[in-house]
Amino acid sequence: MEYIKIRFGDEFDKIGSRFEETIEDMFRSMGPIFSLAERTWRPSMDIFETENEIIILAEVAGVSKDCLDIEVNSKAVKISGNRNEVSKMESCKYRLAEIQYGIFERILILPAFIDPDKVDASFQDGFLKIRLIKKPVERTIRIPIADD
């Protein structure tokens, strides 16, 4: 069985400036010639939840499992990786270039606390699936006071 790397930690690296990302996305949408040197992209992701778990499904077609990295703590998941660019055909003129390549990083804040020791990830048909077990809700109990 092959494994996907999962690292545990309390803090994640700082997220890049939202303004810079917006500017880069704007120029990238004009065409590949306007892309910054280090291309980034944002794969589509779904988060859904059952009574006992949270499931993240990430569409990462074209990304090798070896190029994926997952970090978790009790309230967030960081998914990062790299999709290598397919060799461009030199003798043709591109009329449409929408497929994005390069590095990506997503930090997802979870809707409930999870147990970082109970996480598993699988990768099949271009989808990364991460299953996170919710921590039991802390309950309050009433303590009777005994007579002396």
Residues 1-29: what's their mean pLDDT?
Answer: 54
The answer to whether residues 54 and 110 touch, using CB atoms and an 8 Å cutoff, is yes
Residue 26, pLDDT score: 61
Confidence of residue 108 (pLDDT cuts 50, 70, 90): very high
Give the separation between CA 28 and CA 39, rounded to whole angstroms: 9
Residue 148, pLDDT score: 78
Percent of the chain with pLDDT over 70: 74
> Lowest-pLDDT range, 24-38, 90-104, 130-144?
24-38
- The amino acid present at 75, given as its one-letter code, is K
What string of DSSP letters covers 75-88? SEEEEEEEEPPPPP
Q: Higher model confidence: residue 39 or residue 70?
A: 70
Which range of 32-36, 118-122, 133-137, 143-147 scores highest in mean pLDDT? It is: 118-122
What string of DSSP letters covers 50-74? -SSEEEEEEE-TT--GGGEEEEE-S
List of residues 6+ apart from 7 with CB closer than 8 A:
69, 70, 71, 72
63 is written with which tokens?
A: 């990304």
Average pLDDT value for the chain: 81
For the chain, domains (ranges, CATH) are: 15-86+96-134 (2.60.40.790)
> In 3-state terms, what secondary structure has residue 96?
coil
